[in-house]
């Protein structure tokens, strides 16, 4: 701020105005992840970006990859008599790895034809090729596809994508650039380098996402091309006392590359903000000695023993800190100010258990897969028991889950009677599930006392959170896939076996109380805590991998040939070097999360020579730059290790402490917040406010309105048969759909087919039949697919009348259709707290009287809306729904609604005469369709006003067409006074639509 004020008055006013302008325009900036940005650009490019608006972006390709592997494995090895060179498990692992790293080059390049490496490379290439085919066939793309497609669109020097992108974004800032992969940089470089002002922000010392595709080599190459390079030389996070220690330990160190160096910085905060800690050294190293484990010389301590000892020592240390009355920045230090940072979930679980056992609040969500939790195991056990409640073993296993909470002793003492009681409960819960879904089981279990029982356990909040999460996932899967209970059981078993990286698998936070935060380094990146504990930074397990990610010069490569390849040893060494480099940067990130204090441990474990802390402290001396990939010698005595650590202590880098477990002090209970009492509800509930729809509005004529409309899965705006009194007129052309069934399910199936079928298909009947087959899974109707398809062809060849200039549905392609336009908009103020005008349906009726001429076929509907049955309904809240289709015909936009109502005499053959204009008008009035037509017209008006440049209601609103499909008989459809049978055309005045929009918005009807 001082810099901004250091100028004369005129310049100061100018700078102030710039800041005000920047704040005002901040929301206009494009702020997105790389993938979001690519998706947005591809959509704007259209065909130039090789992007189909109809494709679905999927988070994970794991299921598709597994399917491809199964098929290709049979194709490659199905005829072999001997064991294949590549097992199915290895093939699946290989496929997932090559799909995970699409920008890599497969190695070895030219393996011998009879070698396993040749088989692996060929299989990997086939997987990638088949994946592209199936993705396009299914209309799906992955996040990586967004990048590669945009990169391809930018490939040519004169590509339109390059021109559009740098014109649209003259200034581009890329944050966290050190985690960029080669394809991301290719997109950024081709679009903006030497065209826009390109600012790349990143810290190569924090490049820790190689396993996700982040490529530090890409960063280093890009940095070399920068015109200007600037460095942040002040640490705004950590105290000067800690910065000094970290500079001693890390200063000048090469973190995987001579170009990635820890430089000196100054600290913003002088001294230390941590006061009153029992051990206040900024960097503490607690050394575990062999003697307490009965080990001597250079014998290593088992990691299983260390996972018992170190977490207990950690819990005691944290307990002492929390009970010492320490402060941070002049406020009491709390549990939430402490982070325990690890690299493995196994280490995190050990620390979590130790803290919980010591009574110290802790939270850990990093062990992310909910399907590996105890809750998932108990749900699987319960679902298995539902299938076989007659088997005592299954029932007793279910009784031991959290749902029942029976112990082994209780099961023994209860005997057959207890088993029978549990079996009866299982049958009852299974019935609930069939009637109301899986969530009903969870509700029943809670009513039987599960919550109180589980929450009384240690870690009960974690278990209840997982149970609720699993219930939601099971409910969603059952609804999405239409699973029965046995099918749901099989699905859950598969999920537990396969594993994936999908977001929904991540466990949820069990509570948000003040607690010690346990997390991995990757989660901790970007965060800060007053005190950071690194209990297992000295240890890193290194295994020889068959699939090795490495760099050959600047080229990122994936070696898939396995250990039999002649070049495997060299490749493996290169891969281990890159892993060690990543781990050095992980160590840097972990240490620099602390604001005031870092506490670490060292112990002589088997994997200690690979650990990041060991390589920094034992693998080098103070002021040395090189950090070895592995410490040598790999085994040293306690005295030799202490001698090296003492060098660092003498240099001012750390303070050595002996790791001896102390008694954990009891934490003071959180003081009660006062006596709890029930709050009295004294406000009035506005029962007129609701979220409703057209169907909800007209339903009021039959029943009392409710506060919220139920969700429906079938059409609720069609009546199968409508009794009409108007005489049928016109030629008796037989209806193509005369022999087809009626009902909401049939109508829903027809709607779904019309929504997804392409009218420009060369073989329309085949296209319709394919879509019928696809949707009949969800809407099974007793009719042959071919028969229904044949009956739906004529409607596509029926002239649509005056509003459509006589064109047919077959002549209006998908680009000129907006299908199933969902909407939701506020009625008279929506959810505003201020008083809204009292608007009722009768006001809509008054608008109809004011704007419709007497000869309008729907003019009489005004009386219906102003009558007592409908007119008294308040229009307050939100209106939602979905318009079947909007057709663009020339410069006009027409609302279309499909109807499958039966308008003829049930005892007579159905013909086109039953769908002549007078009968259609009567059907419209009978079913309150005019209200639906008006509401949908308002929706279209608002949409066009928002999206269409130079929109004019008089010019662009093209009216409404209700297509009664059973009366549309193709080219032979009778036409009376210009109106084809089955097509009801209505063009309400645009003034009526705009007036109704104003009425629903703020209660002001246009004059």
DSSP of 79-109, one letter per residue? Answer: T-SSPPSS-HHHHHHHHHHHHH-TTSEEE-S
Quote the distance between the C-alpha of residue 491 and its chain's center. 20
DSSP state, 47? Answer: G
**Amino acid 949: pLDDT:** 87
Please give the pLDDT value at position 41. Answer: 80
Q: How far apart are CA 186 and CA 195, in angstroms?
A: 14
pLDDT band at 718 (very low <50, low <70, confident <90, very high): low
- How many CB atoms are closer than 10 A to CB 375? 24
pLDDT average, residue stretch 329-358: 93
pLDDT for res 675: 74
Report the alpha-carbon angle 808-814-818, nearest 5: 95
Average pLDDT, stretch 504-511? 56
The residue from 897, 928, 954, 998 that is catalytic is 897
In this predicted structure, the answer to whether residue 583 has a pLDDT above a threshold of 60 is yes
Q: What is the mean pLDDT of the chain?
A: 87
Question: 690: part of which helix (H) or strand (E)?
Answer: strand 690-692
The mean per-residue pLDDT over the stretch 206-212 comes to 82
> What integer is the mean pLDDT of 186-210?
89
Confidence of residue 496 (pLDDT cuts 50, 70, 90): confident
CA dihedral sign, ordered 799, 800, 806, 808: negative
The pLDDT of 462-477, averaged and rounded, is: 89
pLDDT range class, residue 2, cuts 50, 70, 90: confident
Q: What is the arithmetic mean of pLDDT over 153-178?
A: 85
pLDDT tier for residue 708 given thresholds of 50, 70 and 90: very low
- 570 Cβ partners below 8 Å, 6+ apart? none
Q: What are the structure tokens assigned to 957, written together?
A: 């609103």
Question: Residues with Cβ < 8 Å from 180, sequence gap 6 or more?
Answer: 34, 174, 188, 202, 214, 215, 218, 219, 222
Distance CA 108, CA 451 (A): 56
Give dist(CA 76, CA 149) in Å, integer.
Answer: 30
Q: Answer whether residue 1007 shows pLDDT above 50.
A: no
Neighbours of 732 (CB within 10 A): 14
- Residues 658-679: tens digit of each pLDDT: 999 888 887 776 665 667 788 8
Cα 317 to Cα 354: distance, rounded to the nearest angstrom: 12
Report helix, strand or coil for 136.
helix
Q: Please give the pLDDT value at position 706.
A: 29
Mean of pLDDT values over 240-245: 95
What pLDDT digit, counting tens, does each position of 532-547 carry? 999 999 999 988 888 9
- Tell me the pLDDT tens digit for each residue of 90-127: 999 999 999 998 888 999 998 998 899 999 999 999 99
| CATH fold label, 31-53+145-230 | Rossmann fold (3.40.50)
**Residue 579 catalytic?**
no
Query: What would the mean pLDDT of 13-34 be, rounded to a whole number?
Result: 82
822 Ramachandran zone, left/alpha/beta (phi>0; psi -120 to 50): beta
812: Cα within 13 Å, side-chain hemisphere: 28
Q: Can you name the residues that pair with 953 across neighbouring β-strands?
A: none
Q: Looking at the DSSP assignment, which residues form a beta bridge with residue 261?
A: 254
Residue 705 pLDDT > 50, yes or no?
Answer: no
Q: Which of 210-224, 269-283, 568-582, 984-998 has the lowest mean pLDDT?
A: 210-224
Q: What confidence tens digit (pLDDT) does each residue in 875-924 have?
A: 888 888 999 999 999 999 999 999 999 888 888 899 999 999 999 999 99
The model's pTM: 0.65
pLDDT at residue 500, rounded to an integer:
54
Predicted pLDDT of residue 1004: 45
* Preceding omega of 938 cis (within 30 degrees of 0): no
Residue 775 gets the label, from left (phi > 0), alpha (psi -120 to 50) or beta, of alpha
Return the bridge partners of 517, or none.
339, 363
The residue among 891, 756, 884, 745 whose CA lies nearest residue 823 is 884
Token digits of residue 312: 């207990």
Residue 367 pLDDT: 59
Omega before 108 within 30 of 0, i.e. cis: yes
Asked if pLDDT for residue 828 goes beyond 60, the answer is yes
Q: How confident is the model at residue 873 (pLDDT cuts 50, 70, 90)?
A: confident
Calculate the alpha carbon distances from 417 to 409, 422, 427, 708, 1000 in Å.
14, 9, 15, 45, 63
Cβ atoms of 338 and 289 within 8 Å: the answer is no
Compute the C-alpha angle 650/278/290, nearest 5°. 60
What are the tokens at 727? 């005489």
Q: Kindly state the helix (H) or strand (E) to which residue 487 belongs, with its residue range.
A: helix 485-498
Radius of gyration, CA atoms only, the chain: 35
Q: What is the C-alpha to C-alpha distance for residues 178 and 175, in angstroms, rounded to an integer?
A: 8
One-letter-per-residue 3-state SS of 184-228: HHHHHHHHHCCCCEEEECCCHHHCCCHHHCCCHHHHHHHHHCCCC
In terms of Cα–Cα distance, which of 311, 268, 262, 259 is closest to 286? 311
In the CATH hierarchy, which fold is given to the domain comprising 370-505? PCRA; domain 4 (1.10.486)
Burial of 813 (0-12, 13-18, 19+ CB in 10 A): exposed
Of 422-426, 451-455, 697-701, 734-738, which range is least confident?
697-701
> How many residues are present in the chain?
1007
* 336-349 pLDDT, tens digit each: 999 999 999 899 99
Q: With 70 as the cut, is the pLDDT of residue 231 above it?
A: yes
Q: What is the mean pLDDT of residues 466-493?
A: 87
pLDDT of residue 723: 62
Would you say domain 699-1002 falls under CATH 3.40.50.970?
no
pLDDT band at 720 (very low <50, low <70, confident <90, very high): very low
d(CA 854, CA 668): 82
Q: Which two tokens stand for residue 413?
A: 């003492």
- pLDDT (0 to 100) of residue 835: 58
For residue 726, pLDDT beyond 70? no
Separation between Cα atoms, residue 10 and residue 736, nearest integer Å: 80
φ, ψ (nearest 5 deg) of residue 85: -65, -25
Diameter of the chain measured on Cα atoms: 108
DSSP classification of residue 618: T
């Amino acid at each position: 701020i001082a810099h901004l004020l250091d100028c004369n008055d005129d310049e100061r006013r100018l700078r102030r105005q710039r800041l005000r302008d920047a704040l005002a325009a901040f929301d206009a900036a494009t702020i997105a992840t790389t993938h979001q940005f690519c998706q947005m650009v591809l959509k704007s490019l259209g065909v130039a970006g090789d992007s189909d608006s109809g494709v679905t972006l999927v988070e994970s390709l794991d299921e598709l990859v597994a399917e491809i592997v199964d098929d290709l494995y049979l194709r490659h090895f199905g005829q072999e008599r001997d064991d294949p060179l590549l097992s199915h498990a290895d093939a699946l692992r290989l496929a997932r790895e090559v799909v995970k790293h699409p920008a890599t080059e497969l190695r070895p390049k030219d393996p011998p034809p009879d070698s396993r490496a040749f088989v692996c490379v060929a299989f990997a290439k086939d997987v990638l090729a088949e994946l592209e085919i199936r993705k396009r066939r299914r209309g799906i793309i992955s996040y990586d596809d967004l990048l590669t497609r945009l990169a391809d669109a930018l490939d040519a020097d004169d590509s339109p994508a390059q021109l559009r992108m740098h014109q649209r974004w003259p200034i581009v800032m890329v944050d966290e650039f050190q985690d960029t992969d080669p394809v991301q940089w290719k997109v950024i470089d081709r679009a903006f380098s030497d065209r826009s002002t390109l600012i790349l922000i990143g810290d190569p010392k924090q490049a820790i996402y190689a396993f996700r595709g982040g490529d530090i080599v890409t960063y280093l190459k890009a940095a070399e091309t920068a015109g200007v390079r600037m460095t942040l030389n002040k640490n705004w996070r950590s105290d000067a006392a800690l910065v000094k220690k970290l500079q001693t330990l890390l200063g000048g160190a090469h973190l995987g590359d001579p170009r990635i160096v820890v430089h000196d910085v100054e600290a913003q905060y002088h001294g230390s903000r941590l006061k009153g800690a029992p051990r206040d050294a900024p960097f503490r190293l607690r050394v575990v000695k062999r003697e307490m484990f009965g080990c001597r010389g250079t014998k290593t301590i088992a990691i299983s023993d260390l996972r018992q000892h170190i977490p207990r020592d950690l819990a005691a240390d944290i307990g002492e800190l929390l009970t010492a009355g320490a402060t941070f920045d002049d406020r009491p230090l709390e549990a939430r100010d402490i982070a325990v940072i690890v690299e493995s979930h196994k280490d995190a679980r050990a620390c979590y258990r130790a803290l919980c056992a010591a009574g110290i609040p802790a939270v850990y969500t990093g062990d992310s897969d909910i399907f590996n939790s105890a809750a998932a195991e108990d749900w699987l056990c319960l679902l298995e028991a539902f299938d076989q409640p007659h088997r005592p073993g299954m029932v007793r296993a279910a009784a031991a889950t959290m749902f029942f909470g029976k112990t082994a002793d209780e099961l023994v003492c209860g005997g057959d009677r207890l088993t029978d009681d549990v079996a009866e409960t299982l049958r009852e819960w299974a019935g609930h599930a069939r009637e109301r879904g899986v969530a009903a089981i969870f509700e029943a279990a809670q009513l039987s006392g599960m919550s109180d029982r589980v929450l009384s356990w240690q870690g009960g909040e974690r278990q209840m959170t997982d149970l609720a999460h699993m219930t939601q996932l099971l409910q969603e899967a059952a609804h999405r896939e239409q699973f029965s209970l046995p099918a749901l059981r099989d699905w859950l078993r598969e999920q537990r076996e396969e594993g994936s990286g999908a977001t929904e698998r991540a466990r949820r936070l069990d509570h948000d109380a003040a607690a010690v935060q346990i997390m991995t380094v990757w989660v901790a990146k970007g965060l800060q805590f007053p005190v950071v504990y690194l209990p297992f930074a000295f240890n890193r397990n290194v295994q020889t991998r068959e699939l090795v990610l490495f760099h050959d010069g600047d080229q990122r490569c994936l070696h898939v040939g396995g250990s039999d390849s002649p070049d495997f040893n060299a490749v493996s060494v290169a891969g281990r070097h890159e892993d060690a480099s990543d781990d050095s940067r992980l160590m840097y990130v972990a240490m620099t999360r602390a604001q005031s204090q870092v506490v670490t441990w060292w112990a002589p474990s088997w994997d200690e020579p690979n650990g990041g802390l060991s390589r920094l402290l034992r693998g080098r001396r103070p002021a040395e730059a090189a950090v070895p990939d592995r410490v040598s010698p790999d085994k040293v005595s306690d005295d030799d290790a202490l001698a090296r650590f003492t060098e660092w202590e003498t240099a001012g880098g750390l303070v050595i402490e002996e790791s001896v477990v102390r008694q954990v002090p009891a934490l003071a209970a959180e003081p009660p917040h006062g006596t709890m009492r029930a709050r009295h509800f004294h406000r009035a509930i506005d029962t007129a406010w609701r979220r409703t729809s057209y169907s909800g509005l007209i339903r009021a004529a039959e029943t009392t309105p409710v506060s919220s409309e139920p969700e429906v899965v079938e059409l609720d705006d069609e009546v199968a048969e409508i009794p009409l009194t108007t005489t049928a007129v016109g030629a008796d052309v037989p209806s193509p759909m005369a022999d087809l069934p009626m009902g909401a399910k049939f109508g829903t199936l027809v709607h779904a087919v019309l929504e997804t079928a392409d009218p420009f298909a060369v073989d329309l009947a085949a296209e319709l039949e394919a879509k019928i087959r696809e949707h009949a899974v969800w809407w099974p109707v007793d009719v042959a697919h071919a028969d229904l398809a044949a009956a739906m062809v004529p409607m596509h060849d029926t002239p649509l009348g005056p509003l459509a200039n006589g064109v047919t549905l077959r002549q209006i392609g998908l680009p000129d259709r907006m299908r199933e336009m969902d909407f939701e908009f506020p009625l008279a103020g929506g959810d505003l707290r201020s008083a809204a005008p009292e608007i009722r349906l009768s006001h809509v009726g008054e608008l109809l009287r004011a704007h419709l001429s007497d000869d309008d076929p729907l003019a009489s509907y005004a009386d219906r809306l102003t009558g007592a049955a409908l007119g008294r309904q308040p229009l307050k809240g939100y209106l939602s729904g979905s318009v079947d289709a909007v057709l663009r015909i020339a410069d006009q936009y027409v609302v279309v609604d499909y109807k499958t109502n039966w308008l003829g005499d049930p005892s007579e053959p159905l013909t086109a005469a039953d769908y002549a204009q007078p009968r259609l008008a009567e059907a419209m009035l009978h079913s309150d369709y005019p209200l639906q037509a008006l509401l949908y017209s308002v929706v279209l008006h608002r949409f066009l006003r928002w999206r269409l440049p130079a929109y004019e209601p008089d010019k662009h609103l093209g009216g409404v067409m209700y297509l009664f499909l059973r009366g549309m008989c193709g080219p032979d459809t009778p036409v009376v006074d210009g109106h084809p049978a089955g097509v009801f055309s209505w063009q309400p005045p645009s003034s009526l639509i705009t007036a109704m929009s104003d009425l629903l918005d703020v209660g002001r009807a246009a004059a």
